[in-house]
A and B are shown apart, each in its own frame.
Chain A
Amino acid sequence: MIHFIVGVVTSANYWFIVLRSTAPILLVTLGAVITAQAGIMNMALEGSMLWAALTGVIVSAATQNVWIGLLAGIGASVLVALVLGLFALKLDANPVLSGVALNLVATGGTVFVLFSLTGDKGISSSLASKVLPSLSIPVVKDIPWIGKVVSGQNIVVYIAAVSVVVIDLILRRFTIGRRIRATGENVEAARAAGIDPVRIKFFTLIISGILAGFAGCFLSMGYTSNFTSGIAAGRGYVANAAQVVAGGTAVGSIFAAMLFGLTDAMATYLQNIGLMPELIQALPYAVTILGFVVVTFVRDRREAERKRKLFAGTPMQKEKADAA
Chain B
Amino acid sequence: MNSIKRFFTDRESLAPALVTLFAGLFSLLAGIVLIFIVSKNPVQSVRNFLLAPFLRSYNFYYLLIVMVPITFTGLALCIVYQLRYMSLIVDASFYTGAVVATALGTLISLPSGVHPTVAMIAAGIVGGLIGLLPAILKIRWRANELVSSLMLNYVFYFLGSFVILYYLRDRSQTILSSLPFKKTFLLPRLVANTQLHVGFLIAAGFVVLVSIFLYRTRWGYEIRLTGANPRFAMYAGIPVTSVILYAHFISGFLGGVGGAVEMSGLYRAFIWQMNPSYAWDGVIVAMLARRNPKFVPLSALFFAYLRVGADFMSRRGDVAFEFITLLQGLIILILASDRIVNYFRERQLRKQLLKNSQGESK
On whether the two chains bind one another, the answer is yes
Interface residues of A, Cβ cutoff 8 Å to B? 43, 87, 90-94, 96-98, 100-109, 111-112, 115-116, 121, 229, 234, 237-238, 240-241, 244, 276, 278-279, 281-282, 285-286, 288-289, 292-293, 296-297, 300
- Complex Cα distance, B329 from A97, in Å, reads 10
**A residues less than 8 Å from B339 (CB atoms):** 90-93
Q: Is the CB of B326 within 8 A of A104?
A: yes
User: Are A278 and B320 within 8 A (Cβ)?
Assistant: no
Question: Whole-angstrom distance from the CB of B296 to the nearest CB of chain A?
Answer: 19
Given A91-B337, A91-B340, A278-B161: A104 touches B329 (CB 8 Å cut-off): yes
Q: Give the chain A neighbours of B140 by CB distance below 8 A.
A: 297
In Å, the complex CA distance between A94 and B332 comes to 10
Which residues of A are found within 8 Å of B38, using beta-carbon distances? 112, 116
- Closest CB in chain A relative to B323 CB, distance in Å: 5
Q: Cβ of A240: which chain B residues have Cβ within 8 Å of it?
A: 144, 147
Q: Which residues of A contact B150 (CB under 8 A)?
A: 234, 237
User: B337 contacts A98, CB within 8 Å?
Assistant: yes
Residues of B within 8 A of A111 (CB): 320, 322, 325
Residues of chain B within 8 A of A241, CB atoms compared:
147-148, 151
Closest B residue to A104 using CB positions: B329
Residues of B within 8 A of A100 (CB): 146, 283, 332
The A-contacting residues of B in range 137-192, CB under 8 angstroms, are: 137, 140-144, 146-148, 150-152, 154-155, 157-159, 161-162, 165-166
Taking a contact as CB atoms under 8 Å apart, the answer to whether A289 and B151 are in contact is yes
User: Given known contacts A87-B336, A92-B337, is B141 in contact with A293 (CB within 8 Å)?
Assistant: yes
Per a CB cutoff under 8 Å, which of B151, B322, B325, B328 touches A285?
A: B151
CB distance from A292 to the nearest CB of B (A): 6
A-B contact pairs, 14 of them (CB 8 A): A90-B339, A93-B337, A101-B336, A105-B325, A108-B323, A112-B320, A115-B322, A116-B38, A237-B147, A244-B144, A278-B166, A279-B158, A293-B141, A293-B143
Does A282 lie within 8 Å of B155, measured CB to CB? yes
Closest to A98 in B: B336
A39 to chain B, nearest CB (A): 14
B328's nearest neighbour on chain A, judged by CB, is A104
**Given A93-B338, A104-B326; A276-B162 close (CB under 8 Å):** yes
CB contact between B155 and one of A104, A112, A285 (< 8 Å): that residue: A285
- CA gap between A65 and B337 in the complex, in Å: 39
| Closest A residue, CB atoms, query B38 | A116
Total count of chain B residues near the partner, CB < 8 A: 47
Q: In the assembly, what is the distance between CA of A324 and CA of B152, in Å?
A: 27
A-B contact count, CB below 8 Å?
Answer: 150
| B72 interface residue per 8 A CB criterion | no
**B280 on the A face (CB < 8 A):** yes
Contact assessment for B329 and A102 in the assembled complex, using a CB-CB cutoff below 8 Å? yes
Contacts of A87 in B (CB 8 A): 333, 336-337
Partner of A105, one of B157, B330, B337: B330
Given A93-B336, A93-B339, A112-B322: A278 and B329 interface contact (C-beta under 8 Å): no
| Chain B: minimal CB distance from A321 (Å) | 15
* B155 in contact with A289 (CB, 8 Å): yes
A128 to B339, CA, bound (A): 44
B151, A297: Cβ atoms closer than 8 Å: no
**B141→A282 contact, CB < 8 A:** no
B338 proximity list for chain A (CB < 8 A): 91-94
Which A residues touch B152, using CB under 8 A? 285, 289
**A121, B257: Cα distance in complex, Å:** 31
Which residues between 274 and 305 of chain B lie within 8 Å of chain A, taking CB atoms? 280, 283
In whole angstroms, what is the CA distance A100 to B330 when docked?
A: 11
* Residue of A90, A104, A234, A244 with highest tally of chain B CB at under 10 A: A104
Q: CB-nearest residue of chain B relative to A281? A: B158
| A239 to B135 Cα, complex, angstroms | 21
A87, A96, A109, A111 — which one has the most chain B CB atoms within 10 A of its CB?
Answer: A109
Which residue of B159, B320, B333 contacts A116 across the interface (Cβ within 8 Å)?
A: B320
Binary flags per residue of B310-350, CB closer than 8 Å to A gives 1, else 0: 00000000111011111111111100111110100000000
List of B residues within 8 angstroms of A43 by Cβ: 146
- A109 proximity list for chain B (CB < 8 A): 322-323, 325-326, 329
Is residue B86 within 8 Å, beta carbon to beta carbon, of the partner chain? yes
- A300: chain B residues within 8 A (beta carbon): 141-142
Q: Which residues of B contact A282 (CB under 8 A)?
A: 154-155, 157-159, 162
* Complex Cα spacing A289 to B147, Å: 9
* Chain A residue with the shortest CB-CB distance to B164: A278
* Complex interface: chain B residues within 8 A of A121 (CB): 320, 322
B343 smallest CB distance to A (angstroms) = 10
**CA gap between A107 and B339 in the complex, in Å:** 26
B151–A292 contact, CB under 8 A?
A: yes
- Nearest residue (CB) in A for B165 is A278
- A247 CB to nearest chain B CB (Å): 14
In the bound complex, do residue A285 and residue B165 qualify as a contact, i.e. CB atoms below 8 Å apart? no
On chain A, the residues within 8 Å of B154 by CB distance are 234, 282, 285
CA distance A237 to B340 in the complex (A): 27
CA distance A238 to B159 in the complex (A): 18
Chain A residues near B333 (CB-CB < 8 A): 87, 93, 98, 101-102, 105
A121 to B319, alpha carbons, bound, how many Å? 11
- The answer on a CB contact under 8 Å between B323 and A97 is no
- Contact status B158-A296, CB under 8 Å: no
Report the minimal beta-carbon distance from B128 to chain A, rounded to whole angstroms: 20
Q: Bound state CA distance, A22 and B283, in angstroms?
A: 32
Which of these, B137, B151, B280, B318, contacts A104 with CB under 8 Å?
B280
Q: Is the CB of B147 within 8 A of A292?
A: yes
A183 CA / B338 CA spacing, docked (Å): 22
Please name all residues of chain B whose beta carbon is closer than 8 Å to the beta carbon of A98 when the two chains form the complex.
Answer: 332-333, 336-337
B330/A101 in contact, CB under 8 A: yes
Residues in B whose Cβ lies below 8 Å from that of A116: 38, 318-320
In this complex, which of B148, B283, B325 has the most chain A Cβ atoms within 10 angstroms of its Cβ? B325
By beta carbon, the residue of chain B nearest A280 is B158
User: Measured between alpha carbons, how far is A168 from B338 in the docked complex, in Å?
Assistant: 35
Within 8 A of A (CB), among B1-53: 34, 38
